[in-house]
Amino acid sequence: MLAIGVNGYGTIGKRVADAINAQPDMRIVGVTKTSPDHGASLAVDRGFPLYTPADRVDAFESNDIPISGTIDDLLAASDLVVDATPGGVGEQYLERYHEHDVPFILQGAEPDSAVETSFSAIANFDAAIGAKSARVVSCNTTGLSRTISLLDDAFGLTGARVSLIRRGGDPDQADRGPINDVLPDPVTVPSHHGPDLATVLPDITVHTMAYKVPTTLMHTHAVNLTFDTTPTPNEIRSVLDPERRITLLPADQGIRGIASIAEIGRDSGRPRGDIWETCIWDESIAVEGEDVFFTQAIHQESIVVPENIDAIRAMMKTASASESIERTDEHLGVGQWPGTDSAERVLSTANK
């Protein structure tokens, strides 16, 4: 049983912590909070031992929130730590992770140069086997790496162009925007997403442009790909449909936009309404001449959660790619989508 610490118990950290405790082969030894806020109370209610920086212990104790020790105590008790602190903060912890000689996973906003490898389970699980540090790539990169790596493997990618329509912020980020605008973000080309994809798919060039819009629900990607051999729409479906981490949204279900997908997540009783799958509108898959098109949606708050679990197993060398992905998906419920026969889904090649 692997003992895992989570440093940074926010949007990503709280989901990863629950996902770890849902697995049979790992458990949470503790999570960290810097403020005695509602998130700290949630962690205590969930039964997670709470750790904090040494100079913050008094703040928790004076609010009657029990503290199990300092962040250094947690690092000493952990076989591996998942860092889910805000972008740029994870990098500040590197020295301490190295001092404690504890393997660590960073999230997408941290630089690729801070770790041995960036990680996305379907694209490059094996690159993280036995690594002491890894970075789970961002939500957008994770979503793109799944579809693009599978289709490249099947048909030989020759060109890729993606326009990303990005959510302005997460639902609890009151200070994020825009609230009445569309922002090219960045206005320059490419956005960072194409180069970020190259950290897990080094042989592939994807040209990306990105725009922020006033929604908190999900990101949307307009994808245009070309291949050595142009596949038919049904050949594309036959590659994507068997993957539990990809959902083809059926044409007859009336899923008009990301709000419908979010509603399905909530109505089907998923934790926090999470959508771990890359969601592709089945009807959007089209071939025009040599160009392949489709539209996909990405739930930014949860798509990286199964990836963190697989990165733990890869780094600790406790499972192969296919074993880990299957175990993660089974214990989280990934791929169980209303109106599809999840039981018939099979895991195709996870490891290139």
Instruction: Return residues touching ligand NAD (CB under 6 A).
Output: 7-13, 32, 34, 39, 84-87, 89, 107-110, 138-139, 170, 300-301, 304
The alpha carbon torsion through 77, 82, 88, 91 (nearest 10 deg) reads 50
Cα(78)–Cα(71) distance, integer angstroms: 11
Q: Least CB distance from residue 11 to ligand NAD, whole Å?
A: 4
Range list of β-strands (E), 111-216? 117-119, 133-136, 157-167, 183-184, 207-213
At its nearest, how many Å lie between ligand NAD and the CB of residue 130? Answer: 24
| Whole-Å CA distances, 21 to 129, 341, 345, 350 | 22, 27, 25, 24
Whether cis (ω within 30° of 0) applies to the bond prior to 36 is no
Question: Does residue 279 carry a catalytic annotation?
Answer: no
Query: Which is closer to ligand NAD, CB of 192 or CB of 207?
Result: 192
Residue nearest to ligand NAD (CB): 10
Angle (CA) 346-350-351 rounded to 5° is 150
Looking up tokens 């791929």, which residue turns up? 335
Complex with ligand NAD: residue 138 or 324, whichever CB lies closer: 138
Distance of CA 228 to the CA centre of its chain: 29
Q: At closest approach, how far in Å is the CB of 103 from ligand NAD?
A: 18
- Residue in 16, 26, 139, 262 annotated catalytic: 139
132 or 192, CB closer to ligand NAD? 192
Q: For residues 92 and 349, which CB has a smaller minimum distance to ligand NAD in the complex? A: 92
Kind of pairing, strands 219-227 and 246-249?
unpaired
Q: In the complex, what is the shortest distance from the CB of residue 274 to ligand NAD, in angstroms, rounded to a whole number?
A: 12
- Residues marked as catalytic: 139
